Amino acid sequence: MNKFTNPLNNIKVASPCSADWNEMIGDARKRFCGECKLNVYNLSEMSKMDAEQLLIQSEGRLCVRFYQRTDGTVITQDCPVGWQAVKQRVSKVSAAVVSLVIGLFGSLGFTLAYNKMTEPAYERTMGTVAYPTPKTSPTPKSNPTPPSVIMGGIPAPSPTPKNTPKKPNNDEVKMGKIALSRD
């Protein structure tokens, strides 16, 4: 009885190709190579079953691209190592989402607590305001200085001398047009 062997375990590349995958036209699973004029299939982007069916059904020349472990097994899209990378990505995204939600609720709680702390401690009332009349402050009593007392007789006022203007002599009075001299 023939024992079924996995075709992925028997892949050998006869002649490695130097064409650049990024310059080929197509998608992640299949691209067209302009140098060899063939479709190049990326086995690492296929499930294990799809990759096996492609290898079994292909007749003749087949160009493939794949990643291989050191033990010789081909890495496919559904391999456990690939799932581990997906799980790590999902766990990182979920951790970021959980952190975001916790941060939002934390900031919301902080805001609510802050608003409660800043509520006024007095009762709010509404209505017209009656302004009380301002109290007048008493004016301070001044402390007058006591009058000084002088005792004794008052002297009689001395007569003020009469100043009569002195009449100028006719020799002192001069009248006429003025003439300025330059001395």
37-64 residue pLDDT tens? 888 999 888 888 898 888 888 876 788 8
Assess contact for 108 and 115: CB atoms under 8 A: no
Model confidence at 30, pLDDT cuts 50, 70, 90, reads very high
Assess contact for 44 and 85: CB atoms under 8 A: no
Q: CA separation (Å) from 172 to 165, 175, 181, 183?
A: 15, 10, 20, 23
Cα separation, 58 vs 145, in Å, equals: 129
* Beta bridge partners of residue 33, listed in sequence order: 38
Show me where the domains of the chain are located: 7-75, 79-109
Above 80 in pLDDT, residue 167? no
Average pLDDT over residues 22-51: 89
